[in-house]
Amino acid sequence: MNIIFIGPRGAGKSKVSRALSKRIDYPIVSTDSIIVYENGGMPIPKYIENNSWKSFRDLEYSILKKLESADGIILDSGGGILFDLDADGNEILSERKLFILKKLGRIILLERDFKELLEKVEGDKTRPDLAKNKAYSEILKKRLPVYENAANYKLNMSNLSKEEAVDRITDWLGI
């Protein structure tokens, strides 16, 4: 069994992944870390600046393809893992990535109140700027229903510590 975390940036996917890994002794695989590694340490914002969002989304897909036969991992996915771009550059549901994720394991959506998300991501230079074309609130409004439809389990992190989140997740998973 694999455990997959999805949700907006700042929701707590990486922190909860680490806490869960310590509890159940599963290794963490981070799609963003793999992309940085496979590109010689180039930060994601720089990769997108040098290439494109479409190229970045294609890299995410290629990583998921490599993970298709994985078992016993925690997948810490980037906030846009469920998306590709249409011909006009707009985000659309990535059927190809969602298919792999559903086959790969149990999908957990971590949510957080919008104000908290903004505080957590504001000024973070390690993440690409989502707001160049649209406000973060607009992006989230479109992404949230996609996250919710993809998830097997939803957990709002707004009033939870990472340890409390892990307790709820392990209870839900029965482990």
Residues 140-169 have a mean pLDDT of 95
Binding positions for substrate: 32, 57, 79, 143
What pTM value is reported for the model?
Answer: 0.90
* Residue 118 confidence (pLDDT): 74
Q: Residue 22: which CATH number? A: 3.40.50.300
Tally of domains in the chain: 1
Structure tokens at 138: 């607009």
Return the minimum-mean-pLDDT range out of 92-101, 119-128, 162-171.
119-128
- Residue 103 structural domain: 3-173
Structure tokens at 44: 């994601």
Binding positions: 10-15, 32, 57, 79, 127, 143
> Would the pLDDT of 131 be above 90?
no
Binding positions for ATP: 10-15, 127
> Would the pLDDT of 134 be above 60?
no
Binding positions for Mg(2+): 14
Residues 96-101 have a mean pLDDT of 98
In terms of DSSP H, where are the helices of 39-134?
Answer: 44-50, 53-67, 95-104, 114-121
Give the model's confidence band at 124: pLDDT under 50 very low, under 70 low, under 90 confident, else very high: low
> Angle CA(42)–CA(47)–CA(53) in degrees, nearest 5?
150
Identify the residue with better confidence: 120 or 66.
66
- Rounded Cα distance, 175 and 56, in Å: 34
Buried/exposed code over 131-141 (b: 16+ C-beta within 10 A; e: otherwise): eeeeebeebbe
Sheet strands side by side (includes 3-6) = 28-30, 74-76, 3-6, 106-111, 153-156
pLDDT in tens, 67-89: 999 999 999 999 999 999 999 99
DSSP state of 122: T
